[in-house]
Structure 1
């Protein structure tokens, strides 16, 4: 069985990643003005550390929850989650390079596109992952875990 304690770290990571997405959306909304150097440095630090940490935790979660299960229909879902995690890290690296205070400024339209692709994709990926867990682990979720996951997914899809 999967209890809420098994989901807490993953959902806390999703909440932190959602906050980072909100900050990046604010940067995109403020373009063509760029963030102050301190803010840009802080965003770069979050991008550099949050995504690899998140991916590592997700990997451990998938290994713990799904590794021992035979899920012929679930493998494509888990493969998509893995691939999107790698893609997010690569996009974060591109954003770090673009947001560095010492970087040559990109045109606002280019930076805006990069930011929006990242935070919209990241939000969609979190919702997809939570939905995949609901589908793949449905019978193994305790009622409390199921409620926790459904509430998180509802918030994710509402934003």
Structure 2
């Protein structure tokens, strides 16, 4: 079962992750124009950090709760989320590289490619966050309905 303090920590991560997505969207919108180097570096670091922190809490709490569900479809969702975490982590590393090279004035990708990378990531992450918030409600309702897991 997901306790209130754990839910709050996870929800705080989700809010920071969504805020990071907003910042990534602002950079994508600004391209191909200039973007402040310090902002790019800070955003790259923030993206890696919040993705890692969110995944850590989800893997400690959300995924085990899904895996322990009496419902097979929720157990299958846990495996899909693990795969999505791997994809999101790799993409966050690509964003770190792209924004770092952009900040250094030697972009490794074209402005269009960086914009596409950022948009692909933040749109996917926003969907994941909303789906995972729905899952937390579902698990909470399942646990409060009187079912016990062994």
The answer to whether 1:16 aligns with 2:19 is no
Using the TM superposition, give the Cα deviation of residue 75 of structure 1 relative to its aligned residue in structure 2, in angstroms: 1.5
Question: Do 2:28 and 2:115's aligned partners in 1 also have CA atoms closer than 8 Å?
Answer: yes
Cα deviations by residue, 1:126-151 (Å, 9 ceiling, x for unpaired): 11111222234423259xxxxxxxxx
Q: Which residue of structure 1 aligns with residue 41 of structure 2?
A: 41
Q: Which residue of structure 2 aligns with residue 114 of structure 1?
A: 117
Using the TM superposition, give the Cα deviation of residue 25 of structure 1 relative to its aligned residue in structure 2, in angstroms: 0.4
Using the TM superposition, give the Cα deviation of residue 97 of structure 1 relative to its aligned residue in structure 2, in angstroms: 0.6
Give unmatched runs, 5+ long, in structure 1: 143-159
> Following the alignment from structure 1 to structure 2, what is the Cα–Cα distance between the partners of residues 50 and 64?
20
Using the TM superposition, give the Cα deviation of residue 85 of structure 1 relative to its aligned residue in structure 2, in angstroms: 1.5
Residues 99, 71 of structure 1: CA spacing in aligned structure 2 closer, same or farther, 3 A cutoff?
same
> Following the alignment from structure 1 to structure 2, what is the Cα–Cα distance between the partners of residues 102 and 38?
10
> Following the alignment from structure 1 to structure 2, what is the Cα–Cα distance between the partners of residues 91 and 60?
22
Q: Which residue of structure 1 aligns with residue 87 of structure 2?
A: 87
**Greater length-normalized contact order (CA 8 Å, ≥ 6 residues apart):** 1
> Following the alignment from structure 1 to structure 2, what is the Cα–Cα distance between the partners of residues 67 and 103?
46
Root-mean-square deviation (Å)? 2.1
Cα deviations by residue, 1:65-84 (Å, 9 ceiling, x for unpaired): 34544432212211222211
Say which SS state the counterpart of residue 117 (structure 2) adopts: helix
Question: Do 1:47 and 1:92's aligned partners in 2 also have CA atoms closer than 8 Å?
Answer: yes
> Following the alignment from structure 2 to structure 1, what is the Cα–Cα distance between the partners of residues 126 and 62?
19
Q: TM-score, structure 1 length as denominator?
A: 0.79
Identify which of 127, 130, 151 aligns with 2:133: 130
Question: Do 2:88 and 2:121's aligned partners in 1 also have CA atoms closer than 8 Å?
Answer: yes
> Following the alignment from structure 1 to structure 2, what is the Cα–Cα distance between the partners of residues 129 and 116?
20
Q: TM-score, structure 2 length as denominator?
A: 0.83
Q: Which residue of structure 2 aligns with residue 102 of structure 1?
A: 104
Using the TM superposition, give the Cα deviation of residue 33 of structure 1 relative to its aligned residue in structure 2, in angstroms: 1.6
Q: Which residue of structure 1 aligns with residue 148 of structure 2?
A: none
